[in-house]
Structure 1
Amino acid sequence: MMVLITKIRKQSKKILQPIALALIKINVSANTITFVGLILSFLYLAIMYFLKDIIIGLILLALSAFMDAIDGEVARLSNKAGSKGSFLDSSLDRIEDINYISGLFSLGFTPLLIGLLIGVSVTISYLRAKAESLGIKMEGRGIIERGERIMFLVILLLLYLLSFTISYYFFLIFLILSIITVIQRFIAVYSSLP
């Protein structure tokens, strides 16, 4: 799965760069794109909660995730990547992650397990941030990083359209892999410390 995500990321650069350059030409900043991604994540959550419209929800989720992919590219290509933008992006990404998973509340998934998945998801990101603040590289460590989590959510929603039962078992796999990732990252960071 991680090899597939890595290949997708490399290929996506070819698509993202022309779009990022076009946005730079019309003076759209990376921070603006970051905020648009956040707004789309709230719209996704509202659609999922109030309307339970999975198709529109999937479109909004994909657009929000796309904003997250393009904002960094715009920052890099415009030579405006900096600590403020990085902080803003990573902070709002956590809110988006919570919104994405919270969209499952209205679909009949167990609230306790959804809450656990939210906590585990945020912990995965926290472990990476803490590790990197200690000078330990965490990118690519663990089974399920943010890109994989978003893909799992998309697949989960698609499966829900076919069968709640199948999507529920897929949800459990998603949760288990996320817990394993927390353990992997914790061990990787702890064993790297003097």
Structure 2
Amino acid sequence: MLGRFRRLMTTVLTPVARVLLRFGVTPDAVTVAGTVVVTALALTLLPLGHLLLGGLLIGFFVLLDSLDGVLARLSGQASRWGAFLDSTLDRVSDGAVFAGITLYFVLHPDVPYATWGAAAALACLALGGIVPYVRARAEAVGATAKNGFAERPDRLAIGIGPLAFTDAGLPMVAATTALTILAVASAVTVGQRMSTVRRQLVKVPQ
């Protein structure tokens, strides 16, 4: 869904990347800085209950996620290391977001459906790491496993969007339901990818 806006974001971010290049900013620096900011926001604002502010700020920086890639292409610094760093640190910031959501429910037990929300967020945290691991491990053994539910921006939007707008009157049951759907979809994705890899590898002589 949100992945369709990548081309638009690339167009919007290109002038920003050109300015950063003039100041000697590297793609790796942008990658690291974005991860630090998102992680800090997720582990402070969300647990403290500043859901709308935290959600909007995290969403803004997620939209900027492609800035390092644009910068790398413009500067001719695109590399396998940069791709590896970006993918690895994406897992860090994603984990921080769902850890922050989990902490919110744990630290606010009087919130409706707090136990349900904590369990669903914790499931999203665990499965959010397993989904990309299955793809990476598949590639390591000569298979591909790119199928599954939603891209990273979509998962974050589903996870944090409804929760953020509970500050604006959205019922908490909508947020916990969204987290549950995301957890189930992630589990299904793991199963789909494992099945896909098995179909590919059983055809290869051992």
Give the TM-score normalised by the residue count of structure 2.
Answer: 0.81
- Distance, in Å, in 1 between the alignment partners of 2:8 and 2:143 is 27
Compute the displacement of 1:95 (Å): 0.9
**Superposition deviation, residue 97 in structure 1:** 0.8
Q: Does 2:173 match 1:165?
A: yes
CA contact 1:124–1:145 (8 Å) conserved in 2: no
Contact 2:148–2:193 (Cα < 8 Å) also in 1: yes
Corresponding residue number in structure 2 for 1:73: 70
Give the length in aligned residue pairs: 189
8 Å CA contact 2:51, 2:163 repeated in 1: yes
- 8 Å CA contact 2:34–2:61 kept in 1: the answer is yes
1:123 paired to 2:130:
yes
Q: Does 1:156 align with 2:154?
A: no
Q: Which of 85, 88, 91 pairs up with 1:91?
A: 88
Cα RMSD, aligned residues only: 2.1
Matched residue type, 1:185: R
Structure 1 runs of 4+ with >6 Å offset = none
Matches within 5 A, 1:43-82: 43-44=40-41, 45-49=43-47, 51-82=48-79
For the 8 Å contact 2:163–2:175, the answer to whether it is kept is: yes
Kept in 2: contact 1:127–1:185 (CA 8 A): yes
In structure 2, what is the Cα distance between the partners aligned to 1:187 and 1:36?
37
Residue number among 4, 18, 30 corresponding to 1:7 in the alignment:
4
Judging changes above 3 Å, is the alpha-carbon distance between structure 1 residues 5 and 47 closer, same or farther for their aligned structure 2 residues? closer
**Any idea what the Cα deviations from partners look like across 1:26-82, whole Å, max 9, x if unmatched?**
211111111111111222121111x31112211331243234221122112211122
Match of 1:81, SS state, is coil
Tell me how far apart the structure 2 counterparts of residues 188 and 40 of structure 1 sit (CA, whole Å).
Answer: 36
Deviating more after overlay: 155-164 vs 90-99 = 155-164
Listed as ranges, the gaps of 5+ residues in structure 1 are: none
Do the aligned partners of 1:40 and 1:63 also contact (CA within 8 Å) in 2? no
Q: Does residue 132 of structure 1 match 2:139?
A: yes
Aligned partner of 1:175 among 183, 189, 193: 183
Alpha-carbon distance in structure 2 between the residues aligned to 1:165 and 1:20? 40
> What code does the residue aligned with 2:185 have?
L
Give me the identity figure in percent.
26
Q: In structure 2, give the amino acid aligned to 1:182.
A: V
The answer to whether the Cα contact below 8 Å between 1:117 and 1:178 also exists between their aligned partners in 2 is yes
Unaligned runs of 5+ in 2: 106-113
**Equivalent residue, structure 2, for 1:35:** 32
SS at match of 2:183: helix
Deviation at 1:138, TM superposition (A): 4.1
Structure 1 47/13 Cα, relative in aligned 2: closer, same or farther at 3 Å?
same
Q: Provide closer, same or farther for how the CA distance between residues 150 and 43 of structure 1 changes in structure 2, counting only shifts above 3 A.
A: same
What amino acid sits opposite 2:46 in the alignment? M
Q: Could you tell me how far apart the structure 1 residues matched to 2:23 and 2:81 are?
A: 22
Aligned to 1:186: 194
In the TM superposition, what is the alpha-carbon distance from 1:122 to its structure 2 partner? 0.6
Alpha-carbon distance between aligned partners in 2 of 1:109 and 1:158, rounded to the nearest angstrom: 18
Distance 1:98 1:167, change over 3 A: same
